[in-house]
Amino acid sequence: MGVRPSCPRKTQNSMKAIIICVSVHHGNTKKVARAIAEVLGAEVLGPEEVEVERLRDYDLIGFGSGIYFERPHRRVLSFVEKLPALEGKGAFIFSTRGAGPAGLYHRPLRKKLLKKGFRIVGEFSCKGFDTVGPLKLLGGINKGRPNEEDLRRAREFAEGLKAQVEGGMDYA
DSSP for residue 8: -
Q: Give me the residues paired with residue 72 across strands.
A: 67
Say if residues 99 and 131 touch (Cβ distance below 8 Å): no
pLDDT at 13: 52
Nearest to 58 by CA among 38, 80, 40, 33: 40
Taking the C-alpha atoms of residue 122 and residue 131, their distance in angstroms, rounded to an integer, is 28
The CA-based dihedral angle spanning residues 56, 61, 66, 67, taken in that order and rounded to the nearest 10 degrees:
80
171 vs 160, higher pLDDT: 160
Q: How do residues 89-133 score in pLDDT, each as one tens digit?
A: 999 999 999 888 877 899 999 999 999 999 999 999 998 877 777
Average pLDDT of the chain, as a whole number:
87
Say if residues 22 and 29 touch (Cβ distance below 8 Å): yes
pTM over 0.85: yes
Domains present along the chain, CATH in parentheses? 17-166 (3.40.50.360)
pLDDT band for position 12 (cuts 50, 70, 90)? very low
Say if residues 29 and 96 touch (Cβ distance below 8 Å): yes
Residue 128: helix, strand or coil by DSSP?
A: coil
Worst-scoring range by mean pLDDT, 4-18, 79-93, 100-114, 155-169?
4-18
What is the pLDDT averaged over residues 49-57? 95
Does the pLDDT of residue 10 top 70, yes or no? no
Give me the half-sphere count of Cα atoms (radius 13 Å) on the Cβ side of residue 148.
0
CA-to-CA dists, residue 56 to 7, 35, 137, 147, angstroms: 12, 23, 45, 34
